[in-house]
Amino acid sequence: MILRGESMEKSDISASIQESILRNELLRVRNTYSFRLGFLLTESLFRKPWLLLFLPFRFLKMNYDFWTDKKSFTRNSEVITNGSHNSECLLLFVASEGGRAACERAKEIAGEWLNEYRHHLVIVSSNSGMIGFNQPNLSLYIIPDPKSKKNISRSDWNKSCENVLYRAIFTHLPANLIFDGPYPYRGVLNALSSAPEMKSVWVQSERTNAEVIKKTATYFTEIRKMNYLENSNLAKNNSKRNYHSLTNNILLATGYGSHEELQKVPSLILKALSNYENINIIGVESLTNSKGDSRITELWNDVVANPNMGNLQAAIVSDNIELITKLHSLMIPTLCVLHKKTTNDAKKVIYSLCASGTLFVTYESEKDEIELYIQALLNREWNLSISQRGTSVTKPNWIKQFIQS
């Protein structure tokens, strides 16, 4: 069953897991032997005294029904237990905090899992960028973005999230779950607690806070860090760019990898680029303030997976390591503009790539440096020479990193 665009609103909150647990407990009590015997005696002695004549026969029937129902329940429980270890099914949770980068990574994981490994993939996502994504053998559940302006409290949203994820887990019974986000929602943690037999992997980004890890790590089976540089040895770049292959396309993706509300293109960069003629500035479609800026001549929906990325003359990005390594692998001269919230782990990886010569790193407060680096990026002779003497990296295999290693 393919579920595309399935959302949870306030009307669905009544079907929360807490209520399901209470209903299950009530059903369990009513099915116990003592309850059935007490109900039989109460009905025969007080409510319907005329049934007392048939009490021996009804007692035998009650025992027969009890043992029959117990055997049936045991068989169903075995099916559920075995099904929860279905190695052919993977569940992926895509958080909205990862922005467009998380969506593209999810699509790469989907391609790897469905084409190379197993048969079925389930995606639960609060990221609006996943809406409409469709593949054979894919089930997609969309829940509202917790940072959206819809009139719903945090506790109610977490109940909706918990309920959707709970239903996805016990409908498809995956053996593995991958949570892709900087921090897990309370609704996700509650749902995971109801499925202890399932292996759960939290994929940490470079923005994951150490305090959050300490508080929530026990809910997951494993915690993995993204390894964008899969091979420790960088391969020599075999694809040489020539003068005629260079275009005048400049990718401006300083907010890529962050939540849409946090994606802002610094006016300083746009002002510096506006001083140059005959260049096409390409923005990211999810950047809210890119859409209304006349200096942005083109918008990309997919960035990392865009087939035209290799034709870029240069790129200006923030601290999204996945995008930086992709540009690095294509030998695209890049300016990385760090900000106050860039973590030390991210800085270490980014600075390690500077040795190739195709990556400049500065901070958003360094106006003179930014203008100087942009001038270098747009110099076609320098651009061509620097991109020919770099090294490239191998595209990571996410499934091997998160599930099989």
Inside any domain, residue 20:
no
Rounded to two decimals, the pTM is 0.61
Same domain, 162 and 299: no
Same domain, 195 and 292: no
What is the Cα–Cα distance from 398 to 94, expressed in whole angstroms?
14
Domain CATH for 245: 3.40.50.2000
Rounded alpha-carbon distances, angstroms, from residue 396 to 25, 108, 310, 401: 46, 10, 18, 8
What is the Cα–Cα distance from 290 to 267, expressed in whole angstroms?
11
Same domain, 278 and 301: yes
Same domain, 88 and 178: yes
Q: How confident is the model at residue 179 (pLDDT cuts 50, 70, 90)?
A: very high
Is pLDDT above 80 for 234?
Answer: no
Digit-coded pLDDT (tens) for 96-141: 888 777 888 888 888 888 887 667 899 999 888 888 888 888 899 9
State how many domains the chain has. Answer: 3
Digit-coded pLDDT (tens) for 250-265: 888 887 776 555 556 6
Q: Which residue has the higher pLDDT, 287 or 64?
A: 64
Same domain, 216 and 248: no
Same domain, 245 and 183: no
Same domain, 60 and 159: no
Same domain, 205 and 254: no
Domain end point (choices 175, 206, 225): 225
Q: Which residue has the higher pLDDT, 200 or 384?
A: 200
For residue 58, give its domain range.
31-82
Same domain, 43 and 157: no
Same domain, 162 and 58: no
